[in-house]
Amino acid sequence: MTDGEFSCDLRVYIEDTDAGGIVYYVNYLKFMERARTEFMRSLGFGKDYIFNHDLMFVVRDVAVEYRRPAQLDDELQATAAIARLGGASMVFSQVVKRAGDILAQGEVTVACVDRSGVRPRRLPPDMAGALQAASPAGGQQQ
């Protein structure tokens, strides 16, 4: 992680592409999901933590700008950074790039809910603190 931006490497496989060998648009969302998941895991908030704290994260809003296509066998980097942090939600700024060229970028709003009732709940204090510390500007509060 550099300057609050987490990055993970990906490779484009045949199942990521359409009949023309171009990455199907919805798969960029999957690449972004992987970056968010690995970002949270890098902070100590993997699946075990989330299940043990009766949490779930749900995507509330997505805005993506597609700039250039990725193709079969490309090596990509997907990034995730906290743009804004709220009491029960966070907005991630995300980019998918190839060799430094931006292919897709966007913002994804994720809400924290309890697993049992799927109702909004505040982020646990240790998680909120770690996310704030990991964000570029200290995680602007919403």
Q: Would you please indicate which residues are annotated as catalytic (active-site) residues?
A: 18
Q: What is the DSSP string of 18-64?
A: -TTSBBPTHHHHHHHHHHHHHHHHHTT--HHHHHHTTEEEEEEEEEE
Tell me how many degrees the CA angle 88-134-44 measures, rounded to the nearest 5: 75
Of the candidates 91, 103, 31, the residue with the CA atom closest to the CA atom of residue 61: 91
- Torsion (CA) 19, 96, 12, 25 in degrees, nearest 10: -20
